[in-house]
Amino acid sequence: MNLTEEIRRKAREWLESKVTDCVIGYERATDGVTARPLFAYGVEEADRLIFDQTCHHNLARYVLNRKGKVTAIVVKPCDSRAINLLLNENQIQRDNVLIIGVVCPGIVETGWRRVGEKLQNACQMCQQHTPVLYDFLVGGPPAPEPMVPDPYLDVAEMEGRSAAERRAFWEWQFSRCIRCYACRQVCPGCYCAECFVDRLDPLWVGIRIAPGENEMWNTGRAFHLAARCIGCYQCEQVCPVHIPLSLLNRKLEKETRQTFRFQAGMSAEAPPPFSTFQKEERLGIGE
């Protein structure tokens, strides 16, 4: 049985037995070749569900729109880490999510009307092919996880540049930002009731779509995701002006992994480093 059939069968079963009234998964987009999110509320809709290597969206964030209701959701391994993040940060209850985990074949690069053959950057460096949590697993038994010798090659390359070069690089990147906030809106970790850039009284970040504010926005967001980004690359993928946002997030992931031996979303229980404090912590400040 293929992934699509397995997912449809489980979705139908859950909807028919009324353990949930909504299965969030994927269906074919109007370009006929890529995928888009689908909220299936009935059996007929469940029959529109698909899964293939174009299903790039991380659907975890949608669960926040259904707080207090039981929601079934299709997750890839990276998306499953986002569910853990939300559990870990007490945004959702485990009893309210029914998780169809997919042993992930890797997602290919896609665009409107375009399905590439190459795996996405995130998938090339992926070290988690089986979801970290699930209620029902599709795509066959968990396989041994691959070893990627150095998943931070791109970060190291950037670290090798001078401060002036790095500044010039990011100024150029942020100069294109149109502050559409797609990066925030798609991010499972960006769920603040009021984002710091939407704070109007007092105004924390100006409304200008211009270099200073653009930098403030993009770096502020990156820092808010330190030790919280689960590495799904959704922000980078949706950016309409192609800012390599994952590079910032991965730099902070590398730092927080080294410092706290913590990787976001791997467990729902491990205390997140920036929500806890240990007296004996030594962060090298002032040394």
List interacting residues with another protein (CB under 8 A): 29-31, 34, 36-39, 57, 61-62, 65, 112-113, 176, 178-182, 184-186, 194-195, 198, 200, 203, 206-210, 237-238, 240-242
Tell me the one-letter amino acid at 272: P
Q: For another protein, give the closer residue by CB, 27 or 268.
A: 27
CB of 34 to another protein, least distance (A): 8
Q: For another protein, give the closer residue by CB, 43 or 241.
A: 241
CB of 283 to another protein, least distance (A): 35
Name the 3-class secondary structure at 6.
helix
If phi > 0 it is left, if psi is from -120 to 50 it is alpha, else beta; for residue 242 that is left
Q: For another protein, give the closer residue by CB, 17 or 30.
A: 30
Q: For another protein, give the closer residue by CB, 118 or 176.
A: 176
Nearest residue to 48 via CA among 33, 27, 29? 27
Nearest residue to 77 via CA among 26, 133, 27? 133
Q: For another protein, give the closer residue by CB, 130 or 246.
A: 246
Q: How many helices (H) and strands (E) does the chain have?
A: 10, 7
Strands 71-75 and 23-28: parallel
Contact 239, 182 (CB under 8 A): yes
CB of 37 to another protein, least distance (A): 4
CB of 181 to another protein, least distance (A): 5
CB of 157 to another protein, least distance (A): 18
